[in-house]
Chains A and B, each alone.
Chain A
Amino acid sequence: MTITNFSDETVAEITREIWSAIIDDSGSLVPRGAVSDYGDLTGSVDINGSWNGTFYLSFSSTAARQAASKMFDADAASLSEDDVRDAVGELINIIGGNLKSLLPPPALLSLPKVETGLPKPTHLDEAELVSELRFDWIEEPIIIAVWREPEAQ
């Protein structure tokens, strides 16, 4: 399947598949209502090529640490901040790569970035918010967002 843009359904399906495979296969990533703000820790990857934009995955501190504990198979309290940031970056890298695979070539995936305390992205003034979804996991918010940059003139 090749697509030219992302729907909420596609973003949700890929996110839940990856969450289930890596973090929690109990189906506990529950869709919730509107996004009011991003979490404490936000990972992002850029896509450049036939489609240009950025994928964001944002966590509360608690959710990020618990997700990292699943990936490291270690007690959450034993993990360093770098461990938690690494896990957030790897998750958005995998989600971004799988979403990117739906686009026609060429489509290049950047290395992940992880930022602390990012509010809703403000550097994408010209960008279009394609999809923004909130899930709850262990009663903590998980936000996935897709921003598309305008076509070059």
Chain B
Amino acid sequence: MHALVVDDSRSMRSILGRILRDHFGMDVEEAVDGQAALDRLVGGDRPDLALVDWHMPNMTGVELVSEVRRRPELADLTILMVTSESEPEQIGEALAAGANEYLIKPFTPDAVADKLAMLGIAPGATGCNQTGEGSAP
């Protein structure tokens, strides 16, 4: 399984990357904003899963999700929004834009596991090579 973590915060990318690698055996790439994520997603060797922060400069996570869903070649990409925005209105907005599920910060590895299970993603699968900016320690 190959995941792309999209967050402008290095510390949050580090936390999420560690959980995905250490608990679920995923290969993890990182993108620092929505445009970097889009550039990566339309390239080859597409990730299976994108975890997308809401609040990012230039392009919000919801705008990124909407842009992804406008592209037929990315229609089946699984997207998990990861954010401290926890009101029903925000959750509804993210899901309406095309996110598949929603994970609220702060989260535990168990909470990530629950969301991955809801998405039908089995932990422990291995996939593509790890590349990308600033991988977590």
Contact = CB atoms under 8 A, between A and B. Distances in A.
A105 B105 contact: no
5 contacts: A71-B14, A89-B9, A97-B83, A101-B84, A109-B84
A21 B84 CA distance: 13
Given A73-B136, A89-B9, A109 B85 contact: yes
Interface string B70-85: 0000000000000111
Contacts of B84: 93-94, 96-98, 100-101, 109
Given A71-B14, A73-B136, A90-B12, A111 B106 contact: no
B7 to A, nearest CB: 9
A83 B55 CA distance: 18
Contacts of B85: 97, 100-101, 109
Contacts of A107: 87
A97 B89 CA distance: 14
- Grouping DSSP codes into helix (H, G, I), strand (E, B) and loop, the A interface class, with mixed when no group exceeds half, is helix
Interface of A: 17-18, 21-22, 68, 71-74, 82-83, 86-87, 89-90, 93-94, 96-98, 100-101, 105, 107, 109, 111
Q: Of B12, B84, B105, which is in contact with the most chain A CB atoms at under 10 Å from its CB?
A: B84
A98 B90 CA distance: 13
B9 A86 contact: yes
B120 interface: no
A100 B89 CA distance: 13
Contacts of A93: 9, 55, 84
A72 B106 contact: no
A74 B107 CA distance: 20
Given A73-B136, A90-B11, A109-B84, 11 more contacts: A22-B15, A72-B10, A72-B14, A82-B10, A83-B11, A86-B10, A93-B55, A94-B106, A97-B84, A98-B84, A100-B84
B57 A105 contact: no
A148 to B, nearest CB: 19
Contact of B11 (A87, A96, A98, A109): A87
A29 to B, nearest CB: 14
A105 B90 CA distance: 10
The 9 closest A-B pairs by CB, nearest first: A97-B84, A21-B106, A71-B11, A90-B9, A87-B11, A101-B86, A94-B84, A94-B105, A86-B10
Given A96-B84, A97-B84, A22 B9 contact: no
